[in-house]
Amino acid sequence: MKTSKKNSVIFMAQLGMLAAVSIVLVAFVRIPLIPAAPFLEYDMADAPILIAAMLFGTLPSIVVLFVVSVIQAFLFGGNGWVGLLMHFVASGVLVVLVGQFYHHSHKFSHAVVGMVLGTLAMTAIMVPMNYIFTVHFFGTPKAVVDAILLPGIIPFNLIKAGLNSVIAGVVFKALTPFISKNKNMFTAA
């Protein structure tokens, strides 16, 4: 097998494994975090996607996010195309910022900056997303979204993105010696 073809297969397998871990996490780890909004359930699905962003860059991690979002939306009660779009946009902001900041210099401190900014951006983008989609497509009255915004939606997204960033950061940092030793295994095809 030619080296470039072999590298492409390894690259696709690595992305597939990260997507599979993400799907398993969304299927089995769902924790309501905010008593005021028990329907908002935390899942760790974004952590492997953030690891993909640090390992392979923004575009491959966005592809993984899209695959996971589709599966979550249609197989795990993720509210169909509306849930897919909301998850893809919100998590996409986080993934893009982490990927771009880390790949700018490959310094972990830059990934942390991306995680902090991505957490804030994800939280901020979910405010208009809830007003647009929750009100217009799920039929929830605007007054209900107004009432749940500060005690539920905003803290939930801060916690979700923050926890996933911390988990991804800890796992990535723990894997750094292995990644450094096997750099040729972790390059985009």
Which tens digits make up the pLDDT trace of 84-120?
999 999 999 999 999 999 988 889 999 999 999 999 9
Question: Mean pLDDT, the chain, as a whole number?
Answer: 90
Q: Answer yes or no: is pLDDT of 143 > 90.
A: yes
Average pLDDT over residues 163-180: 92
Confidence label for 3 from pLDDT (cuts 50, 70 and 90): low
Q: Answer yes or no: is pLDDT of 21 > 60.
A: yes
Distances (CA, A) of 35 to 30, 38, 44, 83, 152: 14, 5, 19, 21, 8
Confidence label for 79 from pLDDT (cuts 50, 70 and 90): confident
Look up the pTM and report it. 0.90
Q: Answer yes or no: is pLDDT of 189 > 60.
A: no
Percent of the chain with pLDDT over 70: 94
Q: Answer yes or no: is pLDDT of 1 > 60.
A: no
| pLDDT the model gives residue 137 | 84
Burial of 174 by CB count in 10 Å (0-12 exposed, 13-18 middle, 19+ buried)? exposed
- Going 144 to 145 to 147 to 153, the CA torsion angle's sign is positive
**What are residue 58's DSSP bridge partners?**
none
Q: Answer yes or no: is pLDDT of 12 > 70.
A: yes
Confidence label for 185 from pLDDT (cuts 50, 70 and 90): low
| pLDDT the model gives residue 186 | 60
Confidence label for 78 from pLDDT (cuts 50, 70 and 90): low
